[in-house]
């Protein structure tokens, strides 16, 4: 890395491209505080402990999801079927909730044991209660303990990964 501004910019771009090659999954994170519900596309999701079973999710501070997880103390993580890849683009903005018909942006959902929404289309889900919230600059890493998990489709359903799309996040 050089000291010149262009060398710095080139390095920033290179570093981003390197980070974009890191493989990751794609998920929808459900959150809720009182009557407010949201669902958001995310790829910064990973298991971080066997015992207890802990899942960490990196959430942008300005996101509605951030507010709802911080307030509600729980979140769901669902996988996305490769056949339902259109879902991912539908959840990159705060959702429109139709509580009466039980839909988020038109997709049917139900509330899990912690009250957070879970998309009915999702092949598999976990629900987590927040145990730690680590402040990391422009994101918070919420670490939750799995309190429920299940399949809603055949266990062999192929799930979407970032590499199946032309999208990137992070870098
Ligand atoms: C492919 C993809 C992956 C994303 N991954 C994350 C992520 O891991 N964490 C995050 O905070 N936002 C992520 N986002 C951005 C959120 O989906 C987006 O900022 C959303 O507007 C925030 O949601 P909310 O305001 O409805 O909560 C990703 C977006 C895309 C397109």
CA R_g for the chain: 17
> Is 29:65 a contact under the CB 8 Å cutoff?
yes
- Per domain, the residue ranges of the chain are 25-164
- Ligand 1 pocket list (CB less than 6 A): 38, 40-44, 58-60, 63-65, 92-94, 167, 169
Q: Of the candidates 56, 46, 26, 58, which has an alpha carbon nearest to the alpha carbon of residue 163?
A: 26
Ligand 1 centroid vs 149 CA: distance in angstroms?
A: 22
- Give me the mean pLDDT over the 22-51 stretch: 97
Note the pTM of the prediction, 2 decimals.
0.95
Encode pLDDT of 29-39 as tens digits.
999 999 999 99
Encode pLDDT of 116-145 as tens digits.
999 999 999 999 999 999 999 999 999 999
CATH class entry, domain 25-164: mainly beta
Candidate of 30, 33, 63 to mutate for ligand 1, largest count of ligand atoms within 8 Å of Cβ: 63
Closest residue by Cα to atom 18, ligand 1, is 92
């Amino acid at each position: 890395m050089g000291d010149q501004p262009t060398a710095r910019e080139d390095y920033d771009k290179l570093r981003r491209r390197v980070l974009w090659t890191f493989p990751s999954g794609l998920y929808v994170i459900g959150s809720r505080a009182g009557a407010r519900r949201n669902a958001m596309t995310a790829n910064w999701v990973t298991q971080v402990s066997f015992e207890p079973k802990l899942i960490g999710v990196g959430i942008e501070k300005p996101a509605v999801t951030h507010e709802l997880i911080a307030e509600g103390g729980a979140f769901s993580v669902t996988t996305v079927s490769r056949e339902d890849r259109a879902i991912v683009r539908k959840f990159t903005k705060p959702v429109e909730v139709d509580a009466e018909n039980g839909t988020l942006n038109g997709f049917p959902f139900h509330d899990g044991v912690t009250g957070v929404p879970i998309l009915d289309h999702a092949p598999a889900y976990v629900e987590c209660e927040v145990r730690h919230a680590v402040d990391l600059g422009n994101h918070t890493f919420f670490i939750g303990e799995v309190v429920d998990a299940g399949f809603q489709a055949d266990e062999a359903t192929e799930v979407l990964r970032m590499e199946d799309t032309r999208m990137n996040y992070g870098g």
